[in-house]
Amino acid sequence: MNIYDVIVGPLVTEKAVMKKDSEQTLCFKVNPNANKTQIADAVEKLFKVKVAEVRTANIPGKLRRRGRYAGYRPDWKKAYVRLKPGQKMPEFAEV
73 in a domain, yes or no? Answer: yes
8 in a domain, yes or no? Answer: yes
Mean pLDDT by 10 residues, the chain (95 residues): 93 92 94 97 95 97 96 97 93 61
Which pLDDT belongs to residue 11? Answer: 93
89 in a domain, yes or no? Answer: no
Cα separation values, 86 from 19, 20, 30, Å: 16, 14, 25
Query: How many percent of the chain have pLDDT more than 90?
Result: 88
15 in a domain, yes or no? Answer: yes
End-to-end C-alpha distance for the chain, whole angstroms: 31
Considering its fold, how many domains does the chain have in total?
A: 1
pTM: 0.88
Which pLDDT belongs to residue 90? Answer: 87
Which pLDDT belongs to residue 1? Answer: 85
pLDDT single digits (tens) 73-88: 999 999 999 999 999 9
CATH, residue 67: 3.30.70.330
**What CA–CA distance (Å, rounded) separates 87 from 48?**
9
56 in a domain, yes or no? Answer: yes
Structural domain that includes position 63: 3-83
93 in a domain, yes or no? Answer: no
Amino acid at 13: T
